[in-house]
Structure 1
């Protein structure tokens, strides 16, 4: 991959004496640290539309392992997007509906408990269930954004490799 459609930008985080860098699509605001939607709009509209249509139509099946790999971020996103049904069973149903992922309670609930222990989630004890809500919006946003960039980078690499085939 030539990288013609990518550029390196500093994230502001440092590891040792070098700033952390990430590859971002050309275009947009140029500063991925800006907390506005302009910094997230650099993804080509056609790519987003295609993916959103596939997810909405249920045409996209994702390997359970891939969902499990980003389960914390997916759970945070589902909880942030949901007005209700933020209990474990409802979240597992959403994982199944959106990604065709059949994850066990033994996979999902420990992750919810870990997010609660990290103070990222708040748990509301109800009569027979627990409802989850975002407690630390900044931490949730940062975690979701980092996962999105990781997956986007892989997706862009794979998409660019199609030209070589």
Structure 2
């Protein structure tokens, strides 16, 4: 389903006679051409407050499948903000700490290798481990920003559907 079609899904309450008149509240949140996420003012305050509190408290468990779907972008973000400890085992421990995700080395390491092969990450071989750093900041930022926007739109759609129930 395209982004435009997603915004046109009705919530069951008709607000007009034509499909365009029955758009969900998400239609008012235009996706900027720069791929910037919607402004904070466009995000329901109750949703934002609960998410921020959970992230700060590290009190979130995210389904492993959802983490896996955005694993490349999550790894890029973790490596970008890491103060050391960007080896595979450390990243897997951080995935567990941050999201409660228990991913296997067979899931994480191939992603790290693919990101390195695409020149988005740079690998540094140390004595007993490999450390990763961001090699292409622009690509890493673009991928993280796009993933964040997509997850935000889905989250807002789901929240808005709850508000109409």
TM category (shorter chain) comes to 0.7 to 0.9
Is the aligned partner of 1:94 residue 2:94?
yes
1:42 alignment counterpart: 39
More divergent stretch after superposition (109-118 vs 44-53): 44-53
- The number of residue pairs the alignment matches comes to 141
1:127 alignment counterpart: 127
Mark the runs of 5 or more structure 2 residues left unpaired by the alignment: 1-10, 12-22
Alignment of 1:20-99 (within 5 A): 24=31, 31-33=32-34, 39-40=36-37, 42-43=39-40, 44=43, 46=45, 47-99=47-99
- What is the alpha-carbon distance in structure 1 between the residues aligned to residue 25 and residue 49 of structure 2? 23
2:24 alignment counterpart: 3
Root-mean-square deviation (CA, aligned residues, Å) is 2.0
Cα shift readout 1:61-106 (whole Å, capped 9, x = no counterpart): 1000000000000000000011111010110011000000000001
Distance 1:155 1:68, change over 3 A: same
Instruction: Name the one with the larger strand percent.
Output: 1
Higher relative contact order (CA 8 A, sep 6+): 2
Structure 1 runs of 4+ with >6 Å offset: none
Rg larger in 1 or in 2?
A: 2
Mark the runs of 5 or more structure 1 residues left unpaired by the alignment: 10-23, 25-30
TM-score (norm 2): 0.77
Instruction: Name the one with the larger helix percent.
Output: 2
